[in-house]
Amino acid sequence: MQQARIVTVTPHPALDRATAAPEVTAGPKLRCLAPRTDPGGGGINAARVIRMLGGHVTVVAVLGGATGTQLGNLLTAAGLDTRVVPTGGETRESLTVDDARNHEQYRFVLPGPVLTPAEHELLLETAESQVTEGTIVVGSGSLPAGLPDESWAELPRRVKARGGRMVLDTSGAPARAALGCGIEVLRCNDREMEELCGVELGDHESQERELRKLIADGAANVFMMGLGAEGSVVVSADEVIRPKAPNLAKRSAVGAGDSLVGALTFGLASGWSLHDAATLGVSAGAAAHATPGTELCRRDDVERLFEEATGRPIPH
């Protein structure tokens, strides 16, 4: 089956740097290892995973300044088809430092640009121009300063109007504002989903009941809630799927959720069942936890974990 077109949208990307030090402590100079630098931000990370799995994807990202130029060069080097939305501000950087003594990870995120209303509209127009019938658009990540909470609500409307489907990975007020705006899949972790529902979702019954209420109200067609070490629960109008998270040693938290969303979208765009797409997503998220720093999941690991979960290889 031919893969549906995939577009990822990242309004707040980051140049991700990762390093390690023998010990992270206040006071002395910390002599770090040579850093690894990757293009980052929710939609960009999802696109990296989609491409790694063999999918075709177009990246729409807001980039500005010297940091934005470097990030854009990394996207080109990664072979990602990119549509740049220019901003007068400087693209942000993030720094991840692993403490080799106690195996803890420290993550520092610098502020990014303040987007103007004109830049926001250009982002929407650029993303919308990439949508054709059947396109899956992934909106992922935080919103930069200058954009209102309602910013993730407008894109799903435009995507749906052009015959596309929207996968949205966000939380808090932006997620609430986007409910009922034409979302196909909304993904949050358990704490974020509880905030969205306004009730505790500590057991299977409450999870299924509250998420089905949202679906019945037209908030979204599918909800995917992360459950940490338990995996995820995926609820649609007629299905409840609970893919289990593999028990792997956790080396880094960077990009695990983005890897999940990227792999899930790859499966949906390939015409897989919701069950298989969700299982691939959870496999990718777990595989990303097992890699160091800003490295995302590795294909061999994702394929192995998917086969362990389903008893069969990844469909081709």
* Active-site amino acid positions: 258
Rg (CA), the chain: 19
Q: Is 98 exposed, middle or buried (0-12, 13-18, 19+ CB in 10 A)?
A: buried
Q: At what angle do helices 204-216 and 190-197 cross, to 10 degrees?
A: 50
260 forms beta bridges with none
Contact partners, residue 312, CB within 8 Å, separation at least 6: none
Nearest to 178 by CA among 155, 144, 209, 211: 155
Phi and psi at residue 53, to the nearest 5°: -80, -5
